[in-house]
């Protein structure tokens, strides 16, 4: 970044600070990566302490920072349970008494003479009578500060207080230097973001932001400063994203012809929804321009993403290019194979499968067909990553439900072609900010509507005991009457696991009903057999781990029970219930969610919230900053202060012409 800062000051070593010798300076370098004053003032405070309020002993606000004046009555030393010495000082005022506790500073005892007036500032506690924890002695006539106080992280042998002292001392030097030069406080560093852009969001300059972070006079100032830094992070990721955009691909030729395109669409046995049409139109334009597609197709379960993959594969095939459709599970791969086979009937295009347990001869033939370009479409699971898999001309990679694959694996598949188009399909309707941060998808394609029935799904969230106390019977009766049910348990083994669930159903209202079971450790063929039995009505219910989440497409299942829902996020639960009421003739469905304890309250929102994007936003809010830690682990680090909820508008701004132009001009 082009950050020119007040050079002399910023480059000066920490040893220029009072009380910092070479050894302490080394500690700062090791613990905080700060060798210079400029680096030191870029250490972020961890939190802020509210200004103290002046109180008397009658009003003793537990947990708050208070300033208290009283008369010393007595002092004593004690050692609670073998820990270090505590000094107690009993103070009285007109309303009553308060015990101030000083930790590990026995020598302070001589500062307190009985009968003397003192003023202290510390944290009020009411846990054991009125106490003032770890106070400091206030100088006579010292005014109560109205400022919030920055609290710094402890690191590598440095206490929070030592860091605070050093940072504040560095700022004092800076202040002096700027004053000598007659420059404004904020001018110590040039802000690379032009004033007009900052003004749009009411952001302070970079120099100002750091002052506000270290010496705020209100939490509004802190937030404004945080937002300025977050904007910097947003722009940094956006620049990186732009730098990684792939080189242009060969522009499609045949698929541009209306006739060819119409023939492709004619293979799809239903009318496309408006969203499907729009997404396909966007993609077709991408193909025509020769832009290499890197898009996120963002659509809820059942929104009809398969159609998009299918049409695009055929569009590529029209130009003799190949497509690879990668499914996260064998169930889903087989489902795609069935669908594609059906839609391809009478076509000369060749479809091959690559699954984990293919017979050797079949696999060998499939590999040969792909390498020679005789097959145009490959559908498979992780078997597609294999080194033996070669394509004559891989033009399109479709990653279905991609979060289940590793970055490296996906990369390996994409590397089998020369900058092939990549469509990532996700059924988790993630908020736009995360789509951008996690997938680099600034312009996701969204499928919002669910084709077909639109039959409603009613969700009820229960405490676990409700199952035994009535819901089990209700569901069993409906199952016996022909209303199929999914029974979901997040784990396979253990208490509350799938196996225990299936065993428990042999007694009580479910005894006598036929219940199949599927989980991730079963062979694919066996899973398929169970699923078919369920789809064809030979089973009343299908019990499963969340593998049922990833794309089982059984029409018209009107009931679902989800056990142990406390283990699942809102988004996963939403995805699970999306399995219900699929297909044109589907009946309205009920989803019964069982969640223990505190999760019950957290998940209750599912009862009223039916829109996937709304669920996703709520999920994000519930999970809080952990989301970003997750991002950092997946290789999208670099965020220190960016908040995907609070800073959504800053990400949205990247689409504005103003910012796009500025970035293109090297801003």
Binding site for ligand ADP (CB under 6 A): 270-273, 276, 299, 301-307, 427, 451-452, 553, 582
Min separation Cβ 344 and ligand ADP, Å: 14
- Evaluated on CA atoms 11, 16, 17, 19, the torsion sign reads positive
Both tokens of residue 218? 């209100």
88 binds, among Mg ion, ligand ADP, none (CB under 5 to 8 A by kind): none
Stretch near Mg ion under the rule CB under 5 A, chosen from 248-256, 300-308, 366-374, 453-461: 300-308
CA dist 110 and 650 (Å) reads 56
CB 221, CB 212: distance < 8 Å? yes
Min separation Cβ 417 and ligand ADP, Å: 23
Residue 666: burial class (beta carbons within 10 Å; 0-12, 13-18, 19+):
exposed
Nearer to ligand ADP, 307 or 501 (CB): 307
107 binds, among ligand ADP, Mg ion, none (CB under 5 to 8 A by kind): none
Min separation Cβ 332 and Mg ion, Å: 7
Nearer to ligand ADP, 305 or 421 (CB): 305
Coil, helix or strand at residue 467: helix
Min separation Cβ 257 and ligand ADP, Å: 23
Nearer to Mg ion, 326 or 627 (CB): 326
Alpha helices (H) along 182-273: 195-200, 206-214, 219-243, 258-266
CB 150, CB 170: distance < 8 Å? no
Both tokens of residue 101? 């506790």
Min separation Cβ 384 and ligand ADP, Å: 18
**Residue reference for tokens 């500032």:** 121
Min separation Cβ 543 and ligand ADP, Å: 21
Min separation Cβ 500 and Mg ion, Å: 30
Q: What is the dihedral of CA 162, 164, 165, 166, to 10 degrees?
A: 90
276 binds, among ligand ADP, Mg ion, none (CB under 5 to 8 A by kind): ligand ADP
51 binds, among Mg ion, ligand ADP, none (CB under 5 to 8 A by kind): none
Q: What is the dihedral of CA 421, 427, 431, 434, to 10 degrees?
A: -50
DSSP output for 640-653 = SS--TTTTHHHHHG
484 binds, among ligand ADP, Mg ion, none (CB under 5 to 8 A by kind): none
CA dist 400 and 427 (Å) reads 9
Nearest to 75 by CA among 86, 92, 85, 90: 90
- Evaluated on CA atoms 602, 608, 613, 617, the torsion sign reads negative
Min separation Cβ 286 and Mg ion, Å: 21
> Up-side HSE of residue 639: CA atoms within 13 Å toward CB?
28
Nearer to ligand ADP, 216 or 299 (CB): 299
Nearer to ligand ADP, 221 or 428 (CB): 428
Nearer to Mg ion, 305 or 577 (CB): 305
Site for Mg ion in 391-450 (CB under 5 A): none
Contact pattern for Mg ion over residues 535 through 574, marking x by CB under 5 A: ----------------x-----------------------
Min separation Cβ 156 and ligand ADP, Å: 49
Nearer to ligand ADP, 296 or 505 (CB): 296
Residues 6 or more apart whose Cβ sits within 8 Å of residue 653: 200, 201, 659
Nearer to ligand ADP, 42 or 450 (CB): 450
Nearer to ligand ADP, 400 or 592 (CB): 400
SS (H, E, C) 110-132: HHCCCCCEEEEEEEEECECECEE
334 binds, among ligand ADP, Mg ion, none (CB under 5 to 8 A by kind): none
453 binds, among ligand ADP, Mg ion, none (CB under 5 to 8 A by kind): none
Judged by the rule CB under 5 A, the positions of this chain that interact with Mg ion are: 305, 551
């Amino acid at each position: 970044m082009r950050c020119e800062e007040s050079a002399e000051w910023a480059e000066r070593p920490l040893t220029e600070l009072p009380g910092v010798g070479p050894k302490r300076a080394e500690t700062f370098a090791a613990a905080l990566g700060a060798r210079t004053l400029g680096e030191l003032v870029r250490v972020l405070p961890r939190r802020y302490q509210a200004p103290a309020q002046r109180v008397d002993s009658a009003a003793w606000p537990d947990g708050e920072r208070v300033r208290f004046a009283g008369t010393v009555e007595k002092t004593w030393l004690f050692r609670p349970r073998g820990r270090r010495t505590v000094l107690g000082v009993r103070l009285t005022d007109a309303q009553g008494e308060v015990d101030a506790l000083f930790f590990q500073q026995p020598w302070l005892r001589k500062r307190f003479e009985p009968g003397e007036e003192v003023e202290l500032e510390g944290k009020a506690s009411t846990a054991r009578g009125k106490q003032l924890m770890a106070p400091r002695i206030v100088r006579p006539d010292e005014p109560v500060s109205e400022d919030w106080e920055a609290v710094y992280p402890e690191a590598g042998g440095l206490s929070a207080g030592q860091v605070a002292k050093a940072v504040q001392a560095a700022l004092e030097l800076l202040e002096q230097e700027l004053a000598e030069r007659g420059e404004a406080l904020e001018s110590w560093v040039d802000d690379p973001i032009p004033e007009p852009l900052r003004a749009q969001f009411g952001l302070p300059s970079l120099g100002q932001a750091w002052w506000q972070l270290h010496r705020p006079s209100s939490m509004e100032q802190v937030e404004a400063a945080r937002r300025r830094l977050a904007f910097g992070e947003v722009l940094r990721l956006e620049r990186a994203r732009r730098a990684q955009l792939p080189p242009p691909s060969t522009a499609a030729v045949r698929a541009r012809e209306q006739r060819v395109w119409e023939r492709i669409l004619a293979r799809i046995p239903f009318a496309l929804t408006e969203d499907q049409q729009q997404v396909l139109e966007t993609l077709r334009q991408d193909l025509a321009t020769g832009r290499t597609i890197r898009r996120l197709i963002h659509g809820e379960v059942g929104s009809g993403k398969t159609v998009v993959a299918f049409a695009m594969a055929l569009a590529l095939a029209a130009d003799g290019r190949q497509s690879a459709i990668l499914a996260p599970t064998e169930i889903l791969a087989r489902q795609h194979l069935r669908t594609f086979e059906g839609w391809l009937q009478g076509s000369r295009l060749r479809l091959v499968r690559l699954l984990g347990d293919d017979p050797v001869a079949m696999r060998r033939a499939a590999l040969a067909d792909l390498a020679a370009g005789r097959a145009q479409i490959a559908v498979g699971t992780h078997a597609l990553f294999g080194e033996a898999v070669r394509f004559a001309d891989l033009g399109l990679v479709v990653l279905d439900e991609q979060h289940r694959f590793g970055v490296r694996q996906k990369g390996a598949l994409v590397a089998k072609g020369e900058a092939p188009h990549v469509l990532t399909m996700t059924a988790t309707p993630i908020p736009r900010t995360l789509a951008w941060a996690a997938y680099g998808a600034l312009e996701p394609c969204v499928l919002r509507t669910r084709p077909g029935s639109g039959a409603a799904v009613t969700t009820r969230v229960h405490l676990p005991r409700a199952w035994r106390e009535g819901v089990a019977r209700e569901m069993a009766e409906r199952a016996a009457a022909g209303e199929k049910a999914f029974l979901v348990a997040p784990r396979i083994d253990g208490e509350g696991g799938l196996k225990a669930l299936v065993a428990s159903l042999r007694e009580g209202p479910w005894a006598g009903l036929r219940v199949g079971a599927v989980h991730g450790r079963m062979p694919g063929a066996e899973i398929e057999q169970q699923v078919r039995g369920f789809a064809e009505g030979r089973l009343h219910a299908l019990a499963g781990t969340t593998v049922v989440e990833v794309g089982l497409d059984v029409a018209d299942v009107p009931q679902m029970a989800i056990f142990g829902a406390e283990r699942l996020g809102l988004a996963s639960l939403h995805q699970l219930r999306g399995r219900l009421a699929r297909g044109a003739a589907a009946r309205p469905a009920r989803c019964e969610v069982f969640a223990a304890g505190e999760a019950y309250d957290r998940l209750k929102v599912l009862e009223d919230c039916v829109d996937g994007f709304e669920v996703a936003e709520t999920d994000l809010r519930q999970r809080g900053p952990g989301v970003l830690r997750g991002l950092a682990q997946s290789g999208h680090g670099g965020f220190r202060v960016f908040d995907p909820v609070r800073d959504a508008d800053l990400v949205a701004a990247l689409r504005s012409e103003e910012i796009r132009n500025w970035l293109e001009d090297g801003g």
